[in-house]
């Protein structure tokens, strides 16, 4: 669905955030985009949705350059930024004004999502807290049924019950024709949602792998005692230590996204060797 080809971008010409950066994003999956603060995750989201224009390279959505901003392309892309403003009107008025731009907008899906978040349909944006506005906007975003949904730190501002509801809403809204890209620091909020993990750092993609391949190649342990030379990375945990090593015998384990992220940054050559073989 998305092809980023030899992309270069910087807010200052002498300091590029991305240089000759390439990445492909397929359909029917939830992608987690992870990186340290200042890595350029939000910038990348704006580039692939056509809100920023690269100095060099192209971003294609289903074969069309997103920076041409054709209506047919824009109607198939929706972005939920980390911070946003909503007009002081009701949700119903907002839907009447905005929904016609999205040809597959679903009122049924909007109402189902509102039910998941335990919100009524007659809400007025001006009367909502920031967390409630985010939930309402996420519901509208899912109801657009665009091929590509991009979300920047969507769980920020949500309380614990709402984070669980968020995961349920995303799972309910998925289909083989959709792709969702979630950029976040709150990795524990989305680890059970992801089909694919992308980790970026220093203008490079350090990891680009499906969760099934990650489970096939890596074993995530907790409080185990194993030979030091077999450990790729470890970090303190409630159980003593969280440990990461190569999966040599098809062992089952649950992905620890925080451990994977830290290990990929600290031991990038070892992780690269495992996934590039």
Q: Tell me the pLDDT band of 157, cut-offs 50, 70 and 90.
A: confident
For residue range 114-126, list pLDDT tens digits in order: 999 999 999 999 9
Q: Tell me the pLDDT band of 15, cut-offs 50, 70 and 90.
A: confident
What gap in Å lies between CA 35 and CA 45, rounded to an integer?
Answer: 13
Q: What is the pLDDT of residue 229?
A: 62
Strands (E), the chain: 2-9, 18-25, 30-34, 56-61, 64-65, 77-80, 148-152, 179-183, 196-201, 204-210, 218-222, 231-237, 240-246
Given a cut of 70, whether residue 224 has pLDDT beyond it is: no
User: With contact defined as beta carbons under 8 Å apart, do 165 and 116 qualify?
Assistant: yes
**137-to-23, 133, 185, 247 alpha-carbon distances in Å:** 28, 6, 20, 41
**Which CATH number applies to 2-202?**
3.40.50.300
For residue range 160-196, list pLDDT tens digits in order: 999 999 999 999 989 888 999 999 888 888 888 999 9
For the chain, what's the residue count? 277
Q: Tell me the pLDDT band of 230, cut-offs 50, 70 and 90.
A: confident
Query: Could you tell me the residue ranges of all domains in the chain?
Result: 2-202, 210-276
Given a cut of 80, whether residue 13 has pLDDT beyond it is: no
pTM exceeds 0.85, yes or no: yes
What gap in Å lies between CA 66 and CA 64, rounded to an integer?
Answer: 6
């Amino acid at each position: 669905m998305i092809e980023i080809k030899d992309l270069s971008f910087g807010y200052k010409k002498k300091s590029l955030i991305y240089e000759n950066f390439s990445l492909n994003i397929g359909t029917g999956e939830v992608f987690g985009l992870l990186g340290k603060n200042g890595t350029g995750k939000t910038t990348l989201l704006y580039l692939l949705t056509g809100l920023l224009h690269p100095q060099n390279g192209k971003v294609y959505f289903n074969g069309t350059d997103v920076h041409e901003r054709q209506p047919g392309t824009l109607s198939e892309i929706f972005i939920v930024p980390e911070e946003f403003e909503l007009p002081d009107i009701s949700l119903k008025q907002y839907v009447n004004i905005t929904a016609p731009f999205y040809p597959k907008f679903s009122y049924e899906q909007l109402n189902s999502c509102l039910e998941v978040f335990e919100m009524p349909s007659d809400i007025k944006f001006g009367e909502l807290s920031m967390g409630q506005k985010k939930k309402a906007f996420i519901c509208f975003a899912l109801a657009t049924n665009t091929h590509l949904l991009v979300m920047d730190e969507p769980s920020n501002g949500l309380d614990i019950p709402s984070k669980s509801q968020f995961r349920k809403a995303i799972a309910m809204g998925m289909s083989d024709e959709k792709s969702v890209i979630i950029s976040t620091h709150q990795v524990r909020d989305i680890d059970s949602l992801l089909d694919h993990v992308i980790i970026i750092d220093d203008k490079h993609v350090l990891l680009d792998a499906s969760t099934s391949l990650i489970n096939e190649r890596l074993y995530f342990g907790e409080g185990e005692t194993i030979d030091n030379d077999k450990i790729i990375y470890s970090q303190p945990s409630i159980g003593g230590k969280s440990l990461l090593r190569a999966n040599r015998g098809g062992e089952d384990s649950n992905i620890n996204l925080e451990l994977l992220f830290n290990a990929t940054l600290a031991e990038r050559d070892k992780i690269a060797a495992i996934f590039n073989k």
